């Protein structure tokens, strides 16, 4: 009986093979999973080190090899989505015959829980830094040539930097370079919208990076699933400050790819008018796409603010969080300072929204 169990676990586990031509090395991974896609494949090849990770639900399959010979920086990744086959194609530096693929590392050919797989970091180059508001900047990082990595909607990455001799790690949520929709990501650049705090440990160090400097970026993480929004008719986004960042890709995805979507509404909480991120772009979007609406709510407005004011409260939520129809399928996403998110979730539940209708972005 034990033997039967072991072999069925083995049947589920991906496997790999490799072959070569005069100029190429192809590593083929058979995931045995039908709905493979580019978001689930992370490849890093640098010098002679090859690392390929395949994400399969809460598991991770790893190919990690110290290659026998040098390869060029260009790495191609082909995914046969329907049969679940992933090919990693490397270019030989010298057209010699390889006797073997190389020396496997300890984690090579393992299929384990994602949480048991340590985060992998690669160094990315800072290519631009542009002002968004008085204290928030858009950082554009470039992945190395040998890296294939997409950050899925709703997920974040970790940045790692050595500050005063100590490794410091903080999470950030990639956005798009701008809002006008139907933006196709190039797979090379990662955009991060980051608020610089005057006494912030990490953001001060980030702010001091020069164009051309390098910073380590991890594999993506997070428990948001695209399928949650794929069937939504009403999408409600509650954001506080930089809690806006996960909403960017989410909005882009919903407005471009969710055909049943009827309304998308962003309720954006900030301290002052000057703190509102991408205000102009959001207002333009609302004009262009009649499904989208934005509401700004300020907690410390100046005297001239004629819009809504206050902090998240049951009365503000009951005023702005509504279904477009009585039986609409709704998804409410919330992100911001921890007390904002916690209170918001509680108020939404008090208003009768169920656990399944609410997604909170947290640490
Ligand atoms: P810290 O040194 O930690 O301090 C930040 C500021 O808060 C300072 O002014 C400090 O004086 C003050 N402070 C520190 N601790 C407290 C406290 N307990 N009470 C009151 N004040 C305090 N941020 C973004 O800008 N963009 C993002 O896309 C983004 N994504 C995130 C995704 C996730 C999943 C999470 C959990 C956080 C995200 N953050 C994001 C926040 C980010 O990770 C950092 O927390 C932030 O950049 C501050 O880091 P820091 O080291 O500069 O600040
Ligand atoms: P901020 O201090 O400028 O506050 C923005 C608004 O949030 C305020 O105007 C207020 O309406 C509300 N708010 C703030 N503190 C509150 C409180 N104690 N109770 C109720 N409402 C409150 O915000 P910021 O400096 O931009 O910070 C954004 C926060 O979002 C950070 O804590 C960051 O870690 C978090 N964040 C989390 C994620 C995530 O978990 N995925 C992603 C991005 C940002």
Domains observed in the chain: 2-116 (2.60.40.790), 121-218 (2.40.30.10), 227-360 (3.40.50.80)
For 22-81, how does the pLDDT look when each residue is reduced to its tens digit (9 = 90+)? 999 999 999 998 889 999 999 999 989 999 999 998 999 999 999 999 999 999 999 998
CB-CB contact of 87 with 148 (8 Å)? no
Distance 296 CA to ligand 2 centre (A): 14
Smallest CA-to-CA distance from 147 within 124, 172, 170 is with 124
Distance 200 CA to ligand 2 centre (A): 15
Tell the burial category of 39 from Cβ atoms under 10 Å away from its Cβ (0-12, 13-18, 19+). Answer: middle
Distance 270 CA to ligand 2 centre (A): 8
Complex-level ipTM: 0.96
What pLDDT, on a 0 to 100 scale, did the predictor assign at position 315?
Answer: 94
The residue contributing the CA closest to ligand 2 atom 20 is 340
What pLDDT, on a 0 to 100 scale, did the predictor assign at position 1?
Answer: 39
Cα 2 to Cα 245: distance, rounded to the nearest angstrom: 48
Q: Quick one: average pLDDT of 222-243? A: 96
Atom of ligand 1 nearest to the CA of 198: 9
What pLDDT, on a 0 to 100 scale, did the predictor assign at position 2?
Answer: 44
Cα 333 to Cα 196: distance, rounded to the nearest angstrom: 24
Closest-approaching ligand to the CA atom of 195: 1
Smallest CA-to-CA distance from 18 within 67, 60, 55, 70 is with 67
For residue 111, pLDDT beyond 90: yes
Q: Quick one: average pLDDT of 180-207? A: 92
For residue 347, pLDDT beyond 80: yes
Instruction: For ligand 2, pick from 151, 241, 272, 335 the residue to mutate: most ligand atoms within 8 Å of CB.
Output: 241
Q: What percent of the chain has pLDDT over 90?
A: 91
- Is the shortest distance between the CB of 156 and ligand 1 below 6 Å? yes
What pLDDT, on a 0 to 100 scale, did the predictor assign at position 10?
Answer: 55
Q: Quick one: average pLDDT of 300-319? A: 96
Average pLDDT value over all residues in the chain: 94
SS3 content of the chain, % helix, strand, coil (to 5): 20, 40, 40
Atom of ligand 2 nearest to the CA of 338: 32
What pLDDT, on a 0 to 100 scale, did the predictor assign at position 8?
Answer: 53
For 155-174, how does the pLDDT look when each residue is reduced to its tens digit (9 = 90+)? 999 999 999 999 999 999 99
Sorted by sequence, the CB contacts under 8 Å of residue 314 that are 6+ apart come out as: 347, 350, 351
Tokens 């809002």 correspond to 179
The residue contributing the CA closest to ligand 1 atom 11 is 199
For 252-295, how does the pLDDT look when each residue is reduced to its tens digit (9 = 90+)? 999 999 999 999 999 999 999 999 999 999 999 999 999 999 99
What pLDDT, on a 0 to 100 scale, did the predictor assign at position 184?
Answer: 80
Smallest CA-to-CA distance from 261 within 224, 229, 228, 295 is with 229
Distance 347 CA to ligand 2 centre (A): 17
Task: Give CA torsion, residues 264, 268, 273, 279, to 10 deg.
Answer: -30
Counting Cα atoms < 13 Å in the Cβ hemisphere of 31 gives 26
Smallest CA-to-CA distance from 317 within 334, 304, 300 is with 334
DSSP state of 221: B
CB-CB contact of 86 with 41 (8 Å)? yes
Distance 202 CA to ligand 1 centre (A): 8
Atom of ligand 2 nearest to the CA of 269: 11
Sorted by sequence, the CB contacts under 8 Å of residue 306 that are 6+ apart come out as: none
DSSP state of 261: -
Q: Quick one: average pLDDT of 227-245? A: 97
What pLDDT, on a 0 to 100 scale, did the predictor assign at position 9?
Answer: 54
Smallest CA-to-CA distance from 272 within 247, 294, 297, 293 is with 297
Q: What percent of the chain has pLDDT over 70?
A: 97
């Amino acid at each position: 009986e034990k033997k039967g169990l072991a072999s069925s676990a083995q049947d589920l586990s991906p496997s790999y093979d490799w072959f070569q031509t005069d100029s190429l090395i192809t590593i083929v991974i058979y995931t045995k999973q039908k709905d493979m896609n580019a978001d689930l494949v992370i490849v890093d090849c640098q010098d002679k080190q090859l690392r390929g990770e395949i994400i399969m639900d809460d598991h991770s399959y790893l190919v990690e090899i110290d290659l026998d010979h040098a390869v060029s920086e260009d790495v191609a990744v082909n995914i046969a989505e329907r049969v679940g086959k992933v090919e990693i194609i490397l270019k030989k530096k010298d057209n010699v015959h390889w006797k073997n693929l190389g020396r496997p590392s300890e984690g090579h050919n393992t299929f384990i829980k994602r949480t048991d797989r340590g985060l992998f970091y690669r160094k990315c180059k800072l290519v631009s830094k542009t002002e968004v508001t008085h204290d928030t900047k858009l950082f554009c990082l470039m992945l190395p040539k040998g890296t294939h990595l997409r950050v899925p909607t709703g997920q974040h990455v970790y940045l790692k930097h050595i500050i005063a001799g100590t490794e410091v790690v903080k999470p950030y949520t990639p956005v798009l370079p701008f809002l006008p929709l139907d933006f196709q990501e190039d797979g090379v650049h990662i955009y991060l919208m980051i608020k610089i705090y005057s006494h912030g440990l990490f953001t001060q160090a980030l702010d001091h990076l020069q164009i051309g400097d390098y910073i380590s970026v991890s594999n993506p993480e997070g428990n948001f699933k695209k399928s949650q929004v794929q069937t939504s008719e009403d999408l409600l986004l509650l954001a506080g400050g930089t809690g806006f960042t996960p909403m960017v890709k989410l909005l882009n995805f919903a407005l471009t790819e969710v055909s049943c979507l009827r309304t998308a509404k962003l309720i954006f909480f900030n301290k002052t008018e000057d703190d509102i991120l991408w205000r102009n772009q959001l207002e333009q979007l609302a004009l262009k796409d009649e499904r989208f609406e934005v509401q700004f709510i300020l907690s410390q407005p100046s005297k001239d603010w004629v819009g809504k004011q206050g902090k998240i409260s049951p009365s503000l939520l009951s005023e702005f969080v509504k279904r477009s129809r009585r039986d609409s399928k709704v998804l409410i996403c919330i992100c911001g300072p921890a007390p904002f998110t916690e209170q918001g979730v509680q108020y939404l539940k008090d208003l009768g929204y169920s656990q399944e209708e609410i997604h909170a972005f947290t640490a």
